Amino acid sequence: MLQDSAWTTATPLESSNATGGSSAEGCKDMIRMDLFVHFSLIPAVLITLLLSYLQRRAKHRHIDDNLPLDQRFGIIEPANFGSSSRNRWSYGAACGAAATTVFLLFIKGYSSYFPFTTPVWANVFVYLLSALEAGVDYYPFFACLSTRHKIIGSVLGFCYALSWFCVQVVYIFDCQINENTHFSKLIPLPSLICCLFLMGHFIQIFAKHLKGYCRAEFIDEEEPFLPRHQYNYVKNLLKARTDEATVAKSCFAKRIYQWDPNFRFPLRMIVTSLLCLICLYNFILVDFYISPKAVMRLDHIILEAVNKTLADKTKRSLLILKESWFYSTFPAIAVSVTYIFHVMACYRTQIKSLFRGEKKYMPLKRPPAVLAASIRYTGYQIAFLLWGYLVLRILCFLVSVIIAFVFVVPIQDGNGMQLLEGIGYALLGAVLMATVIIVQVLASQFFFLQDKLYPTDQTKPLAINNRRAFQNFSYFFLFYSAMLGFGNCVLRLIINVFLGSWLFARIDRPLFPRGYESIDMGYCTWVGMLRVDFYHTHPVAVAFCHLLIQESEMNKTQAQTAESPPPDVLEACQGKKFRTKWWLMYTLQNNPRLIMDRKQRGSAVGTFPMGTEDLESLMISTVRSRKLQIKETGVPDPVQSKGSEDRST
């Protein structure tokens, strides 16, 4: 039967104990995830302190005068979520490795890792402590990616990612006696894939910089102030515009998405999309785990409370409800995944319209509130997406139930003709209402509006003609418009409920009418994020600041050049002076007779005797004084050793 095929794949599963208890009878987990999460704080803090020690501070502080820190222990920047366009997928993988923990924070699973119990009013502090611990545990991933000491950072990041990968693999394949634990073991799979990606990236970083270190090559991976895509964007603005209508576009570019080489999504959007996909995956797994248990429990309660005479009808109704709830999963999943990519496309469209100066209506708030909204965006997007998936599933469930009980069940009971009659009456009323509206529009177009002022006008002016007939026409349709308005009011309510539920996960558009957008916290978060990115990543503003920085550096270089000679000239002069002295000493040592011909300080020229005996005695005294100096100091004469080396060569 369809019931068996639909629900046997999602049998109720018993999850393993979060604190590391026995997951099945006679089977205990080898890995206690609560202890591993707590003890991971030790290497995480040590890695963070080591990388902070290697990071030098830009300014000298008073603490450097008291402690020999040498301006170390600088603040590590984990990632530039606003304007970074390099290593976006690596940072996304780092966030993906933490996605399972983020999801556990939503479903109260991570807070169970703490062994103490708290009152209800203190739960908010437990969540705050859980979020803080999760942030510290996964901070080394970002610190190792962003540090300038790439070799050390890659080694530490690889070891830390390998430890998390091994522990989660052991946790997945542990305790295979209980088959019901397979479902819960699927949750860490996205984190494992992200850990594998991170390990591969750290290996690539280590090999690249080690090769550059061996070749004495400097590898600069610092992100430029003006990225290449923003430079190309500004350069295209200065070119002559081409007619976009004449450019041939593919069907995919026209209807779905058109690639723009001069635009790159910032790191925040990449991270948000990956976290949304992974959290949605985990939420669907939990849904498939909880729903069969809840449905079977509800089925058992209802069948016990209903009389035996109504058991058959009740079973059929319950079967319809169960099948409707199961099959409502697939459209909800498809729409939720589509929303993730559609939000990315909407971000590009809206941020580019802001770059062009097309500022549409936005809730105006103070800069602190806007910046705080930008900070909240990623968390809000994940939460709205998960709740939107649940609301979408309920909506699809209600639609399928209505279709089943209104159309399918009457046909199965042999009441198909009555159903057709009802559909005919409903269609007749809808056609009549549409006909009246069309008649009003046609009468206004051809009878109650004056003619065009000019033949080239596309529409008639809004000037009433045949006023007496118009007033009579309005009077007789007054009463029918009241009944027509009642039906449209119900239709408006249904459409608002449907669209509100359908677009609940979309925070890029407000659910409230114009003028009340500030009440929608999700939409205000989206607008705040857009405004922050607009002010900090505008290509024209960034290019202008880049030109100012270049001009300032050029002026400083010119001022330094005018004040003092270049340092290479001084070095050349000093090197020439030392080289001349060395050659003089080398010549005098090999030709001692020239010593007598040199001009001495404090004596007249030619005062030395020219005899051979006097010259030999001078040479002997010079050699003795050098040997005595070597015995006293224990250091050989550098000039003599240098001369001996040159003679040997």
DSSP labels, 523-564: HHHHHHHHHHHHHHH-HHHHHHHHHHHHHHHHHHHHHHHHHS
Sketch the domain layout of the chain as residue ranges. Answer: 1-223, 271-564, 586-599+608-648
Exposed, middle or buried, 475 (CB in 10 Å: 0-12/13-18/19+)? exposed
- 112 within 8 A of 19, measured Cβ to Cβ: yes
Q: CA 498, CA 492: separation in Å to the nearest integer? A: 10
H or E, element range at 606: none
- What's the pTM value of the predicted model, to 2 decimals? 0.70
Ranges of the chain with pLDDT below 50: 1-27, 176-179, 245, 569, 602-610, 638-649
Query: What confidence score (pLDDT) does residue 204 get?
Result: 86
Burial 100-116 (b: 16+ CB within 10 A, else e): bbbbbbbeebbbebbee
Q: CA 151, CA 210: separation in Å to the nearest integer? A: 7
Q: CA 561, CA 557: separation in Å to the nearest integer? A: 6
Helix (H, G, I), strand (E, B) or coil at 449: strand
Q: CA 457, CA 308: separation in Å to the nearest integer? A: 75
- According to DSSP, the residues that pair with 464 across neighbouring strands are 449
Q: CA 351, CA 507: separation in Å to the nearest integer? A: 15
- 16 within 8 A of 29, measured Cβ to Cβ: yes
Residue 205 DSSP one-character state = H
Helix (H, G, I), strand (E, B) or coil at 27: strand
φ, ψ for residue 238, nearest 5 deg = -80, -10
- 9 within 8 A of 15, measured Cβ to Cβ: no
203: how many CB neighbours lie within 10 A of its CB?
Answer: 14
Q: CA 95, CA 100: separation in Å to the nearest integer? A: 10
- 266 backbone φψ class: left, alpha, beta (φ>0; ψ -120 to 50): beta
- 332 within 8 A of 389, measured Cβ to Cβ: yes
Structure tokens at 64: 């450097």
Helix (H, G, I), strand (E, B) or coil at 22: strand
Q: CA 268, CA 260: separation in Å to the nearest integer? A: 19
Residue 242 DSSP one-character state = P
**If we measure between CA atoms, which residue out of 326, 317, 316 comes closest to residue 292?**
326
Chain centroid offset of residue 92 CA: 6
The residue type found at 163 is S
Q: CA 107, CA 284: separation in Å to the nearest integer? A: 13
Length of the chain counted residue by residue: 649
- 595 within 8 A of 588, measured Cβ to Cβ: yes
Q: Where are the alpha helices (DSSP H) in 239-328?
A: 251-255, 267-305, 311-327
Residue 601 DSSP one-character state = T
- According to DSSP, the residues that pair with 28 across neighbouring strands are 22
Structure tokens at 91: 């940072």
Chain centroid offset of residue 502 CA: 25
- 329 within 8 A of 6, measured Cβ to Cβ: no
Residue at token pair 């703490």: 114
- 405 within 8 A of 320, measured Cβ to Cβ: yes
499: how many CB neighbours lie within 10 A of its CB?
Answer: 11
Q: CA 249, CA 285: separation in Å to the nearest integer? A: 40
Query: What confidence score (pLDDT) does residue 450 get?
Result: 84
- According to DSSP, the residues that pair with 22 across neighbouring strands are 28
For the chain, the straight-line distance linking the first and the last C-alpha, in angstroms and rounded, comes to 98
**If we measure between CA atoms, which residue out of 20, 64, 94, 463 comes closest to residue 278?**
94
Query: What confidence score (pLDDT) does residue 181 get?
Result: 54
Q: CA 508, CA 381: separation in Å to the nearest integer? A: 10
Q: Where are the alpha helices (DSSP H) in 538-637?
A: 539-563, 567-590, 612-633
Helix (H, G, I), strand (E, B) or coil at 366: coil
Which residues have CB under 8 Å from 374's CB, separation 6+?
82, 525, 528, 529, 531, 532, 533
DSSP 120-187: GGGHHHHHHHHHHHHHHHHHHHHHHHH-S-HHHHHHHHHHHHHHHHHHHHHHHHS-TT-GGGHHHHTT
